[in-house]
Chains A and B, each alone.
Chain A
Amino acid sequence: TSAVMAVVFRRGLPPPLSGRLRAGQQAPLRSVAAAAPLYDVVVSGGGMVGCAMAAVLGHDIHFHDKKIALLEAGPRKECDQMPDSYSNRVSSISSGSATFLSSFGAWDHVCSLRLKTFRRMQVWDSCSEAMISFEKDDLDDIGYIVENDVIMSALTKQLDAVADQVEVFYRSRAVKYTWPLPSHNCDTSPWVQIVLADGRRLQTKLLIGADGHNSLVRREAEIKNIEHWYDQSAVVATLHLSEATDNNTAWQRFLPTGPIALLPLSNTASSLVWSTSHEHASELLAMDEESFVDSINSAFWSNANHSDFIDTAGTMFRSAISLLKPSGTAVRQLPPSIAKVDPESRAMFPLGMGHATEYVQHRVALIGDAAHRVHPLAGQGVNLGFGDIACLAHHLSAAAFNGRDLGSLKHLLKFETERQRHNVSLIAATDVLKRLYSTRVAPLVLLRTWGLQATNALLPVKVRI
């Protein structure tokens, strides 16, 4: 009985490491592996998330004696000066992300290049009068609109500052990963083996996959990914306003075809992110500049999608709210009108959603889009990635200070639990919102109208968002 009990209890003991240990793949022979340089951590993918991960670890005091490598397929981008015109790829950076970036000195560089603070956000429907606006009473900023190139430049600078700890391999694409067996014997190497396109090899105790939504790390680790493509593409462009204004509000309107957003870049310029059907997106790219500008203005200002029924229902609900909570209704402001678009700044890319069922395995962790991909309507994509980094870096730092093997599942699972708990609800909510707002059908419009109005009236909910 004691033997049976022992088996029962051992299986019941958390953590459930046994399910995560990969079987099957060939482990590398020790003799072959021995020649390749060994790193403590290799980050695969040099985008915003990969660079930030490598930089944070490089600046961590408990990683002072460790060797870190960053693999990036593209060339190094030098940017001490930004070009006069704005790039069409921008990100909405939350204040949490700004705090994270300043923790290793990158935010200062961003501020010295350029960014735009926004203090107000207005989100409204095209099928009704319902709207929600976010505003902080104190002078706190809600967020910042920063060009992706600016963030990359700041991160590259911070990587240069810790060149002793972090070795960056540019023009180096990883083509093959070989995983260690969970309990190795003396013939096989316990480390992850990486082969680059030019034949060079590396070994590492922990591989961090930051290689985007089509992650090779995730695919080779055979981690199942739940994904689908929305039948939408995003059109981006840099726009010039008709007249200069404070421009400290981010605008988003839900059209039946998808949300259109105007993100402030300066007093005279804003960035466009318009999610719409593939055909409409192609049309928008093909049309001449004047028609393009007209489409944008019309999308923000036209009331063609209103129906009397919805309007009346919305008005009734709003009166009800103003009885219960007088401060809960706000005046809808109008976004600035657009005068012209930067030539060459129009582009489009398809949108999808994805979530990896596991973020970690023995000696592997996924962060950023490799782990989760979301629709831009919530402006959360890169903020989730930075949140992943902050959490993983915290656990790795503690592990290093305890002398632990960095690739051990024990602390990697803690990272996964924390982040999945945080990310899944947000990704699901974003997906639901996207679907809810893609319709003209009256009951659903009414539902979201009332929901939006109610949410606008409830301050605690808004603060949480």
Chain B
Amino acid sequence: LFRLTVKRLFSASRSSVDSTEMKKFQLLAHKWWDEEGEYSALHSMNDIRVPFIRDTLLSMRSNYHLGSPLSGVKILDVGCGGGLLSEPLGRLGASVTGIDPLEDNIRTADQHKSFDPVLAKRIQYKSSSLEQIVEECIETFDVIVASEVVEHVADLEMFIKCCSQVLKPEGSLFITTINKTQLSYVLGIVVAEKIMGIVPEGTHQWEKFVPPEELGRLLESNGFSVKTVNGMLFNPLSGSWSWMESTSVNYAMHAVKSGAQGQSSPTDAVSETESKLPSATAGTAM
């Protein structure tokens, strides 16, 4: 729903960050952790995106402990905001690096994790855009999570290229975002923003929504292999998210970076992932 990227004043190079997006979130930087506030829908999205990430990764590992299922996994949370997704991943044992261009967001995130000594050690936050960390983080991460980010970036292809650079071979990329359809305009903009106020008005621009076909195409042509695409549905009455067949409004995607030889992962990994996810309309949708 809302992540953002900002253009640094001194940066003249090409950036995946969009300056106008930033101003929208500056005002809300301290509201992240109010579970009933502006970000309540993102809080409840954790109930499906955390299990999605966890179960996908577990199905690809052979030795893990259910007490700390993501132990030993290095995750990059791009556009982490106040750390809503970084913290649960940290609690599951992962070493998380959260980056967000807006300093106020990082400050909020740092402050919130500081009370829990376990999380304070497992999670590191940095105020930065993705491009700025590429040089020092080549092939550093096992997993990249970009949840509710790509609908806000300025240059999607460059964003994906950067993801590929910092991801280890055969590492996983998880994206959740909004489709560009008539239905997503009605539900995602008109209802969500203007009528029901689920999302602060002006958060999204329909022109920047990304259809799964386009996202998949960009991924495949940049060294990724799309493994799973699942539609997501938000129920405003219950305030909760669920999976659904259709990707016409929100969806989640899992892609894997090709191995060192540039070959895609074997097909048995695909069917394993498919069978493990709930109501998964899995498949390389491209």
B47 touches A402 (CB 8 A): yes
**For the complex, what is the distance from the CA of A318 to the CA of B198, rounded to whole Å?**
64
What 0/1 readout, one digit per residue, does chain B (29-66) give for beta carbons within 8 Å of chain A? 00001111000100000110011001000000000011
In the assembled complex, which residues on chain B have CB atoms less than 8 Å from the CB atom of A15? 239
B92 touches A403 (CB 8 A): yes
Is A354 located at the chain interface by the 8 A CB criterion? no
Other-chain contact of A14, B54, B65, B116, B239 (Cβ < 8 Å)? B239
Is A17 located at the chain interface by the 8 A CB criterion? yes
A402 touches B36 (CB 8 A): no
Is B266 located at the chain interface by the 8 A CB criterion? no
Q: Given that A5-B196, A9-B197 are known contacts, is A191 also in contact with B115, CB under 8 Å in the complex?
A: yes
B50 touches A403 (CB 8 A): yes
B33 touches A183 (CB 8 A): yes
Shortest Cβ gap from A189 to chain B (Å) = 6
What 0/1 readout, one digit per residue, does chain B (90-119) give for beta carbons within 8 Å of chain A? 111100000000000000000100111100
A61 touches B66 (CB 8 A): yes
Is A10 located at the chain interface by the 8 A CB criterion? yes
Q: Given that A6-B196, A404-B88 are known contacts, is A18 also in contact with B36, CB under 8 Å in the complex?
A: yes
Is B23 located at the chain interface by the 8 A CB criterion? no
In the assembled complex, which residues on chain B have CB atoms less than 8 Å from the CB atom of A7? 197
Is A324 located at the chain interface by the 8 A CB criterion? no
B36 touches A10 (CB 8 A): yes
**For the complex, what is the distance from the CA of A403 to the CA of B118, rounded to whole Å?**
13
Is A190 located at the chain interface by the 8 A CB criterion? yes
Other-chain contact of A38, B66, B90, B117, B196 (Cβ < 8 Å)? B117
In the assembled complex, which residues on chain A have CB atoms less than 8 Å from the CB atom of B35? 17, 408, 410
A2 touches B239 (CB 8 A): no
In the assembled complex, which residues on chain B have CB atoms less than 8 Å from the CB atom of A13? 40, 236-237, 239
In the assembled complex, which residues on chain B have CB atoms less than 8 Å from the CB atom of A186? 111, 114
Is A230 located at the chain interface by the 8 A CB criterion? no
Q: Which of B92-149 contact A (CB under 8 A)?
A: 92-93, 111, 114-117
B51 touches A402 (CB 8 A): yes
B50 touches A402 (CB 8 A): yes
Q: Given that A62-B67, A403-B90 are known contacts, is A3 also in contact with B197, CB under 8 Å in the complex?
A: yes
A64 touches B65 (CB 8 A): yes
A64 touches B67 (CB 8 A): yes
In the assembled complex, which residues on chain B have CB atoms less than 8 Å from the CB atom of A30? 115
Is A63 located at the chain interface by the 8 A CB criterion? yes
**For the complex, what is the distance from the CA of A35 to the CA of B108, rounded to whole Å?**
23
Other-chain contact of B236, A3, A9, A62, A400 (Cβ < 8 Å)? A9
Instruction: Give the residue name and chain of the A residue nearest to B94 (CB).
Output: A403
In the assembled complex, which residues on chain B have CB atoms less than 8 Å from the CB atom of A61? 66-67
What 0/1 readout, one digit per residue, does chain A (166-203) give for beta carbons within 8 Å of chain B? 00000000000000000100100111000000000000
Is B151 located at the chain interface by the 8 A CB criterion? no
Shortest Cβ gap from B42 to chain A (Å) = 14
In the assembled complex, which residues on chain A have CB atoms less than 8 Å from the CB atom of B197? 2-3, 5-7, 9-10
Q: Given that A17-B35, A64-B67 are known contacts, is A403 also in contact with B88, CB under 8 Å in the complex?
A: yes
In the assembled complex, which residues on chain A have CB atoms less than 8 Å from the CB atom of B196? 5-6, 9
Shortest Cβ gap from A2 to chain B (Å) = 5
**For the complex, what is the distance from the CA of A190 to the CA of B119, rounded to whole Å?**
14
Instruction: Give the residue name and chain of the B residue nearest to A4 (CB).
Output: B197
Shortest Cβ gap from A119 to chain B (Å) = 39
Is A65 located at the chain interface by the 8 A CB criterion? yes
In the assembled complex, which residues on chain B have CB atoms less than 8 Å from the CB atom of A191? 115
Is A229 located at the chain interface by the 8 A CB criterion? no
In the assembled complex, which residues on chain A have CB atoms less than 8 Å from the CB atom of B92? 401, 403
Instruction: Give the residue name and chain of the A residue nearest to B196 (CB).
Output: A9
What 0/1 readout, one digit per residue, does chain A (128-164) give for beta carbons within 8 Å of chain B? 0000000000000000000000000000000000000
In the assembled complex, which residues on chain B have CB atoms less than 8 Å from the CB atom of A14? 237-239
In the assembled complex, which residues on chain A have CB atoms less than 8 Å from the CB atom of B47? 402
Shortest Cβ gap from A430 to chain B (Å) = 34
In the assembled complex, which residues on chain B have CB atoms less than 8 Å from the CB atom of A408? 35
B194 touches A65 (CB 8 A): no
What 0/1 readout, one digit per residue, does chain A (44-63) give for beta carbons within 8 Å of chain B? 00000000000000000111
A2 touches B194 (CB 8 A): yes
What 0/1 readout, one digit per residue, does chain A (6-31) give for beta carbons within 8 Å of chain B? 11011001110110000000000010
With A5-B197, A17-B35, A402-B50 already in contact, 15 other A-B pairs whose C-beta atoms are closer than 8 Å = A2-B194, A2-B197, A7-B197, A30-B115, A38-B116, A62-B67, A64-B68, A65-B68, A183-B34, A186-B114, A401-B54, A402-B47, A403-B92, A408-B35, A410-B35
23 A-B pairs whose Cβ atoms sit less than 8 Å apart in the complex: A2-B194, A5-B197, A6-B196, A6-B197, A9-B196, A13-B236, A14-B238, A15-B239, A38-B117, A62-B67, A63-B67, A65-B93, A183-B33, A190-B115, A400-B91, A401-B66, A402-B46, A402-B47, A402-B51, A402-B54, A403-B87, A403-B91, A405-B87
Interface residues in chain B, defined as those with a beta carbon under 8 Å from any beta carbon in chain A: 33-36, 40, 46-47, 50-51, 54, 65-69, 87-93, 111, 114-117, 194-198, 201, 236-239
A-B residue pairs, 6 tightest by C-beta: A6-B197, A64-B67, A403-B88, A403-B91, A403-B92, A61-B66
